[in-house]
């Protein structure tokens, strides 16, 4: 599923990273604690979270995650957006909750499996 | 890649939480530039980042030393924090002494040390109460 399809499914808004709209996303991860995100390495991942600080972008950077969607209508501050831009990370925001967002993407075929463990 | 050992040193500043992760970020970029396999780079990046964050949230900062050779990458994160009273307990998935304030910043799942263990080939924790903690992470290249 492409990033632009995810935008439609979650009725999301693109904050930065237009260059990744055609990127293929296979798996997803939803969490507000970053070490839970880092417990499972996946490929072609979207990270859904309600946390909007710099460390979300850092976590994505360490894990080679290229797309982040902030839930519950959250939008990060300018510094966070700029760091994402610098790192080529796409940011979306949706009004849906974390649970509903994950549910919608899972129903549409996004999986939660890790590639290294499980 | 030459046989030379590359050494990196970073201070880990705890004053500004938004700058936490700079050492891991710099190391990751260096490893990418040197042409290491992306899976190896990711293991180093994640485990180092977890250790770096621990130094910031549990020990008021410290420093990182990285040694890069064609065979292995060794990361040492040292701090002068309170030390870890019970390493076995700290290594358990879910064990955390993090405050609500830290949790609101996205940390405190009690998964950092277990994650470091999972992504490294060898890991050593040296700690002394009231003196500090030194975490050594070793990732083999082959
Ligand atoms: N450098 C350190 N100095 C002092 N205590 C530490 C240090 N690193 C870890 N600890 C102790 O070990 C516990 C477990 O660490 P771990 O990294 O697994 O979890 P966490 O940091 O609490 O949460 P998470 O890493 O999931 O965000 C910590 O809550 C803390 O009590
Ligand atoms: Mg930790």
Question: What SS3 state is found at B110?
Answer: coil
Residue B100 domain-assigned (yes or no): yes
All residues of chain A having their beta carbon less than 8 Å from the beta carbon of residue B20 are 54-55, 58
Look at strands B72-79 and B62-68 and give their pairing. Answer: antiparallel
| Token representation of residue B73 | 């990458």
Which residue range forms the structural domain that includes residue B95? 17-140
Residue B1 domain-assigned (yes or no): no
Query: Per-residue pLDDT tens for A13-63?
Result: 999 999 999 999 999 999 999 999 999 888 899 999 999 999 999 999 999
All residues of chain B having their beta carbon less than 8 Å from the beta carbon of residue A38 are 46, 49-50, 111, 115
- Confirm if A56 and A90 have CB atoms less than 8 A apart: no
Query: pLDDT band for position B4 (50/70/90)?
Result: confident
Strand runs (DSSP E) across B6-82, as ranges?
6-12, 62-68, 72-79
Interface touch A35/B103, C-beta < 8 Å: no
**Does B29 lie at the interface with A, CB-CB under 8 angstroms?**
no
ipTM of the complex: 0.94
Residue B62 domain-assigned (yes or no): yes
Closest CA to B101 of B57, B70, B64, B141: B57
Domains and CATH numbers, chain A: 3-107 (3.40.1390.20)
**Does B35 lie at the interface with A, CB-CB under 8 angstroms?**
no
Q: What is the pLDDT of residue A117?
A: 53
Q: How many domains does chain B have?
A: 1
Question: What SS3 state is found at B74?
Answer: strand
Query: pLDDT band for position A9 (50/70/90)?
Result: very high
Task: Using CB atoms, pick whichever of A33, A53, A58 lies closest to residue B109.
Answer: A33
Q: What is the pLDDT of residue B83?
A: 98
Residue B39 domain-assigned (yes or no): yes
Mean pLDDT (whole number) for B12-20? 92
Q: What is the pLDDT of residue B11?
A: 97
Residue B127 domain-assigned (yes or no): yes
Which stretch of A39-43, B111-115, B123-127 has the lowest confidence by average pLDDT? A39-43
**One-character DSSP codes across chain A:** -BHHHHHHHTT-EEEE-GGGTT-B--EEEE-SSHHHHHTS--SSEEEEES--SHHHHHHHHHHT--EEEE-TT----HHHHHHHHHTT-EEEE-SS-HHHHHHHHHHTT-B---SS--
CATH of the domain at B102: 3.30.565.10
Residue B75 domain-assigned (yes or no): yes
Is residue B3 scored above 90 in pLDDT?
no
Residue B5 domain-assigned (yes or no): no
Query: pLDDT band for position A118 (50/70/90)?
Result: very low
pTM of this structure:
0.96
Distance from A11 to chain B by nearest Cα, in Å?
25
| Long-range residue pairs from B93-99, CB within 8 A, at least 24 positions apart, any chain | B97/B58, B98/B57, B98/B58
Interface touch A53/B17, C-beta < 8 Å: yes
Residue B59 domain-assigned (yes or no): yes
Is residue B126 scored above 50 in pLDDT?
yes
Query: Per-residue pLDDT tens for A57-104?
Result: 999 999 999 999 999 999 999 999 999 999 999 999 999 999 999 999
Is residue B2 scored above 60 in pLDDT?
no
Residue list, ligand 1 pocket, CB within 6 Å: A 35; B 50, 54-55, 58-59, 79, 81-82, 84, 90, 95-98, 107-113, 133
Q: How far is the CA of A34 from the centre of ligand 2 (A)?
A: 9
Q: What is the pLDDT of residue B131?
A: 98
């Amino acid at each position: 599923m492409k990033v632009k399809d995810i935008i439609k499914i979650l009725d999301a808004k693109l904050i930065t990273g237009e260059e990744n709209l055609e990127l293929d996303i296979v798996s997803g991860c939803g969490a507000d604690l970053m070490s839970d995100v880092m417990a499972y390495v996946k490929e072609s991942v979207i990270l859904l979270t309600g946390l909007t600080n710099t460390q979300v972008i850092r976590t994505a950077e360490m894990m080679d995650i290229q797309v982040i969607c902030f839930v519950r209508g959250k939008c990060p501050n300018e510094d966070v957006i700029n760091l994402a831009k610098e790192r080529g990370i796409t940011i979306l925001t949706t009004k849906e909750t974390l649970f509903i967002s994950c549910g919608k993407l899972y129903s549409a075929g996004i999986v939660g499996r890790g590639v290294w463990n499980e | 890649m030459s046989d030379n050992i590359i050494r990196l040193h970073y201070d880990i500043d705890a004053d500004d939480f938004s700058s936490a992760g700079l050492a891991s970020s710099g190391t990751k970029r260096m490893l990418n530039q040197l042409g290491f396999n992306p899976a190896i780079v990711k293991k180093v990046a994640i485990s180092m980042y977890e250790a770096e964050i621990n130094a910031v949230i549990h020990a008021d900062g410290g420093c990182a030393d990285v040694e890069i050779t064609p065979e292995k990458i060794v990361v040492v994160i040292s701090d002068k924090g309170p030390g870890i009273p019970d390493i076995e307990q700290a290594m358990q998935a879910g064990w955390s002494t993090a405050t609500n304030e830290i949790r609101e910043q996205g940390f405190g799942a009690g998964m950092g040390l277990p994650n470091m263990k999972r992504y490294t080939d060898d890991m050593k924790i040296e700690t002394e109460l009231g003196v500090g903690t030194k975490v050594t992470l070793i990732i083999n290249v082959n």
